[in-house]
Amino acid sequence: MQHAAHATVSDSGMAEPSRQELYHRLSRVLPDVEIAAHMPMIEEINRLKAERGAVILAHNYQTPEIFHGVADITGDSLALARRAGEMDAGIIVVCGVHFMAETAKILNPDRTVLIPSLEAGCSLAESITAADVRELRRRYPGVPVVTYVNTSAEVKAESDVCCTSANAIEVVESLGVDRVLLLPDRFLAAWVDANTDVEVIPWERGACEVHEQFTAELVAEYRATWPGVVVLAHPECRPEVLEAADMAGSTSAMLRFVEQRKARRVALITECSMADNIAAAVEDVEIVRPCTICPHMKKITLEGIRRSLVEGVFEVGVVPEVAARARRAVERMLEVGRGVRG
């Protein structure tokens, strides 16, 4: 099983790695004392996972002991959505936030989907409701609704198509229209608007509480502190931060940039754990960690994952009628990635 900051999976999806293999992975990102502390729980989770026929999906913002120690599939929202639709395992444990678990359930209605903490929410997802989307449709009749995957199943169900930061521009342009509504992240909408000829109408109340904290002044401080640093920023950041950065892109785009450019020193303007996980994938690059933590992602712990596997908690459900409509929006997004337009 080989792990990196993009989607990877073992041959079976449930193989139990050896202690030597686990140590090799973890030694790139954690000190020995932390590895020793985490190892008994990691080994127990991997044993339970194999016994129960479960597979663990982990987002890039998960801590290294989860991302490198117990996950079968890792990646950004797009990678996890793609792989979630291909699962053969009877149990899917989502180490991410609630909307990600809902997406896994939407794409796997007949499988058990678990999330280790009910407190793993998302401020961005909570910024918009299905009623808000219906009101926007009333105000902008005929304008397609593109919804970021960082939304609830009910909001996805009111949408024409979903997107992630990795494919937002591609999805918007695939619709062949002059303007779209892109919800709910107003900064992502502004970034897409600046990088396409399509007029993008935002939802002004939505922003990620993690990425919203970064400012252009902070970027200037990073450059002053670390001369020659290459600054990479996530599109959920403010427009002035993206202007100040050397490159703006999704998690997977950041990783490709680092791998291909081989810059000596890189600052990642995004969530803290992602920097740890990318650092493990590109050992010859110094990763500067401006470190802003997502409090929701950190609700997921090894102890919570073990409890999920032992007790079958917490099971995620989506009302079938809502799931069917949301599934169409997610599948349309995935079709764009396979070269299908419209």
Rounded Cα distance between 103 and 88, Å, is: 16
314 preceded by cis ω (within 30°)?
Answer: yes
Which region among 26-35, 78-87, 142-151 has the lowest average model confidence (pLDDT)?
Answer: 78-87
Where are the alpha helices (H) located in the chain, listed in sequence order? 19-26, 32-52, 64-67, 77-84, 98-107, 130-139, 153-157, 168-174, 186-194, 216-225, 239-244, 251-261, 272-281, 302-311, 320-337
* Residue 132: CA count within 13 A, CB half-sphere: 20
Fold (CATH) for 125-205+319-337:
Rossmann fold (3.40.50)
Q: pLDDT (tens digit, 9 = 90+) per residue, 154-179?
A: 999 999 999 999 999 999 999 999 99
pLDDT of residue 342: 31
β-partners of residue 230 are 266
Backbone angles phi, psi at 287, to 5 degrees: -100, 115
Residues 6+ apart with CB under 8 A from 92: 54, 55, 57, 84, 104, 108, 111, 112, 113, 114
Average pLDDT over residues 199-223: 95
The DSSP letter of residue 269 is E
Who contacts 199 (Cβ-Cβ below 8 Å, separation ≥6)? 178, 179, 180, 193
Global confidence as pTM: 0.89
Q: Please give the average per-residue pLDDT across 47-74, as a whole number.
A: 94
Instruction: Give the largest Cα separation in the chain, rounded.
Output: 59
Q: What is the pLDDT of residue 337?
A: 67
Topology of domain 211-288 in CATH is Rossmann fold (3.40.50)
Is the pLDDT score of 13 beyond 60? no
Contact, 63 vs 295, CB < 8 A? no
Residue 92: the pLDDT is 95
Q: What is the pLDDT of residue 40?
A: 97
Mean pLDDT of 33-41: 97
**Could you report the per-residue pLDDT of 101-116, keeping only the tens digit for each?**
999 999 999 999 999 9
Residue 118 burial (CB count, 10 A): 12
The tokens describing 67, both together, are 């991302």
Choose among 85, 82, 189, 107: nearest CA to 146: 189
CATH of span 19-121+297-311: 3.40.50.10800
**Complete edge-to-edge strand list for the sheet that includes strand 161-163:** 161-163, 145-148, 179-183, 199-202
Question: Domain map of the chain by residue range?
Answer: 19-121+297-311, 125-205+319-337, 211-288
pLDDT in tens, 248-264: 998 888 888 988 877 88
Percent of residues, the chain, with pLDDT higher than 90: 73
- What is the pLDDT at residue 197? 97
Q: Do domains 19-121+297-311 and 125-205+319-337 have the same CATH topology?
A: yes
Q: By percentage, how much of the chain surpasses pLDDT 70?
A: 93
Measured in whole angstroms, the distance separating CA 75 from the mean position of its chain's CA atoms is: 7
pLDDT of residue 7: 39
Mean pLDDT (the chain, rounded):
90
Bridge-partner residues for 56, per DSSP?
Answer: 93
